[in-house]
Amino acid sequence: MSDYYNYIKSLHLIFVVTWFAGLFYIPRIFIYHIEASEKPSPDKEILTDQLQLMAKRLWYIITWPSAVLATVFAIWLLIIFPAWLQQPWMHVKLGFVVLLIAYHLKNHQIFHQLQRNEVKYTSNFMRLWNEGATLILFSVVFLVILKNAFNWIFGVVGIIVLGMLLMLGIKVYKRIRDKNPRA
């Protein structure tokens, strides 16, 4: 079974990448949908119909299948190398995976709300929400690459700094956008 390790790992990584692609893009569609809901008719209806279709295709054709397949191949890897479950970095990684799944499920809930044209969040909230997948991705990649050499203090400080930079970027973009609505 370990002869197939590189194939299984490759498939796991491919589906992780496509899963994250979906998780990066779906909140952007949510933002556009929320902003479209504030437009006058007929723009509102035309845009929301198109955004609902785009979201549905992204969510059910790319994001959900990728999440399932990434998980299947991850479990397969753990079956091949059960010793990984004894390593502390893997416990932390699995904690981030649980967080990622929770983030995915919350996006699923928001997806369903917007499919019913129930707008419960602001576009500014969604811009912040959109960075959740980024923070998880950075955390997991550094953790997996550095493994036991991972310095927790630098890691935690790094994630906090990244979060602050992302929030600063969102605020700067909002100011630019407020001055020039076309930006």
Q: Quick check: 78 and 84 in contact, CB under 8 A?
A: yes
DSSP E strand stretches across 22-129: none
- For residues 106-116, give the mean pLDDT: 98
Whole-number Å distance between alpha carbons of 12 and 140: 14
**pLDDT, tens digit (0-9, with 9 covering 90-100), for 8-25:** 999 999 999 999 999 999
Whole-number Å distance between alpha carbons of 143 and 56: 32
- Label residue 3 by pLDDT band (50, 70, 90): confident
Establish whether 12 is an annotated binding residue. yes
The predicted structure's pLDDT at residue 9? 95
Query: Across the chain, how many H-helices and E-strands are there?
Result: 7, 0
Residue showing tokens 């997806």: 111
pTM of the model: 0.85
**pLDDT, tens digit (0-9, with 9 covering 90-100), for 76-102:** 999 999 999 998 889 888 999 999 999
Neighbouring C-beta atoms of residue 182, cutoff 10 Å: 4
The predicted structure's pLDDT at residue 135? 87
- Label residue 153 by pLDDT band (50, 70, 90): low
Mean pLDDT of the chain: 90
- Label residue 149 by pLDDT band (50, 70, 90): low
Establish whether 104 is an annotated binding residue. no
The predicted structure's pLDDT at residue 182? 72
Is residue 1 pLDDT above 70, yes or no?
A: no
- For residues 130-141, give the mean pLDDT: 89
- For residues 146-154, give the mean pLDDT: 65
Is residue 150 pLDDT above 60, yes or no?
A: no
The predicted structure's pLDDT at residue 103? 98
